[in-house]
Structure 1
Amino acid sequence: MKQSENILDVAALKPDYLGFIFYERSPRNFSGEIPDIDPTIKKTGVFVDEEIDFVLEKVIKHKFRAIQLHGKESAEYCKKLRSELSNKSSVELIKVFSVKETFNFEEFKAYEGIVDFFLFDTQGKNKGGNGITFNWDLLKAYPSATPFFLSGGIGEDELQKIAELYTYFEKSNKSHLLYGVDVNSKFELEAGLKDANTLKIFKDKLGLETHI
């Protein structure tokens, strides 16, 4: 999110999370002030290999309740950030992993017990917002107890596939692992400007298909 009026329009849909990117190379890079929104919405700061002090500064300034790490942040970095965050407030920590044709689940073992959630996005030329999906069947071999967000090129055309994946986890008594769906580029009129109407349609249909 970037523009105040658009932020308010999307916040009116009561999403669980609302993201703000702090990465100068992104066309969605956020600057300025976030307008007052429903406090039940978790304002989320998105960072890419940033200094911890910079992250903490933004957490305090914008009262973020979640942090999404979209770079090559190590488990040690996450552990240090977790320690610093615990001294300030209760902030969820989300670590992003990029997926292409295959994925080595050993990659995130070091992060277990440190972060609250994983997020699986499609590996592409950009740090997110590539508008393409990866092979979600890979997640059927998900070995972790850490809940995850599904991301990467998700739009209305993916609703049926989301429902099928959710049903797979539900039948395995693991529906809690597919914690949420992260949407972005397929709902944009331009970088950082979301179409609130199409988002509402998607959100309503997603609620009918799953419990996410």
Structure 2
Amino acid sequence: MPGFIKICGIRDAETAVAAAAAGASHLGFVFFPKSPRFIDAAAAEDIVTEVKRAAFDQGFDAPGFVGLFVDAGERALAEAAPFLTHFQFHGRESPERCAAMGRQFGLGVIKAVPVGAAEDAAGAAAFADAADMILFDARPPRSADRPGGHGAAFDWALLRAYEGETPFALAGGLAPDTVAAAVAAVKGLAGFEGVDVSSGVESAPGVKDARLIAAFVAAAKAAF
């Protein structure tokens, strides 16, 4: 049964606690300097500590913590690995690289795959032994200086070309009022695990809105 709901681009403890308390299964930190949602490892670690403390005090389940990296070196991965549960590789990392970094640091691996055509979805099967989850996202515009977080959707029907065994989640242009339709489009596909949102729960680029997060989580759970 689907249950993966990730709120990505977290930058402050108050929002993180609100998202976790609302029922998000995972929180994402963007360790990519060109993103308006960039955060450094020290600040992210402080947020993780606050979320864990709040989970204990308030009685909700602590979420998983995901670090988003784009073709990062091992030093950057090592700085964040101690407080993460997953790496999310959002660049051109090969299956071999993804698998090696997951093993080296003992973390789960999520591989983002940009989709603009059916062959993009089909090609994700190459990560079958390298990732614990595939995250299908919209292919960014040619002029983009970052691989995600543009608020763009793609044709969800293209995912019918994916026949891999690795579980997958859906991202790209999702929001509280669109997530139900997105889930309905892919819920019948084998391996569907959930959804990932960033810009769709923001009041401005990089500024999360707790009310939108709560609405998104509720809508996703209802759709599941």
Q: Do they superpose with TM above 0.5?
A: yes
Aligned sequence identity (%):
29
Three-state SS of the structure 1 residue aligned to 2:113 is strand
Shift of the alpha carbon at 1:80?
Answer: 1.7
Three-state SS of the structure 2 residue aligned to 1:182 is strand
Per-residue CA deviation, residues 137-166 of structure 1 (Å, 9 max, x unaligned), is: 011222111101100000123234224224
Using the size of structure 2 for normalisation, the TM-score is 0.81
41-50 or 99-108, larger mean C-alpha shift: 99-108
Higher relative contact order (CA 8 A, sep 6+): 2
Q: Distance in 2 between matches of 1:122 and 1:105?
A: 11
Is residue 108 of structure 2 the alignment partner of residue 92 of structure 1?
yes
* Cα distance, 1:135–1:5 mapped onto 2, change above 3 Å: same
Q: Name 1:117's counterpart in structure 2.
A: 133
Using the size of structure 1 for normalisation, the TM-score is 0.85
Aligned length: 198
Q: Name 1:203's counterpart in structure 2.
A: 217
Shift of the alpha carbon at 1:14?
Answer: 2.6
Shift of the alpha carbon at 1:75?
Answer: 1.4
Tell me which amino acid in the other structure corresponds to 2:76: F
Runs of 4+ in 1 over 4 A off after TM superposition: none
Shift of the alpha carbon at 1:205?
Answer: 2.2
Q: Name 1:192's counterpart in structure 2.
A: 206
Three-state SS of the structure 1 residue aligned to 2:110 is strand
Does the aligned pair in 2 maintain the 1:3–1:192 contact within 8 Å?
Answer: no
Q: Name 2:72's counterpart in structure 1.
A: 50
Q: 1:1-212 residue pairs with structure 2 within 5 A?
A: 1-31=10-40, 32=43, 33-34=46-47, 35-37=49-51, 38=55, 40-60=62-82, 63-86=83-106, 91-105=107-121, 107-124=123-140, 125=144, 126-169=146-189, 174=190, 177-210=191-224
Tell me which amino acid in the other structure corresponds to 1:6: T
Q: Distance in 1 between matches of 2:160 and 2:125?
A: 17
Per-residue CA deviation, residues 50-75 of structure 1 (Å, 9 max, x unaligned), is: 01232122111xx1001110000111
Shift of the alpha carbon at 1:200?
Answer: 1.2
Three-state SS of the structure 2 residue aligned to 1:180 is strand
Tell me which amino acid in the other structure corresponds to 1:110: A
Tell me which amino acid in the other structure corresponds to 1:41: P
Three-state SS of the structure 1 residue aligned to 2:111 is strand
* Cα distance, 1:162–1:109 mapped onto 2, change above 3 Å: closer
Shift of the alpha carbon at 1:101?
Answer: 3.9
* Cα distance, 1:167–1:122 mapped onto 2, change above 3 Å: closer
181-190 or 97-106, larger mean C-alpha shift: 97-106
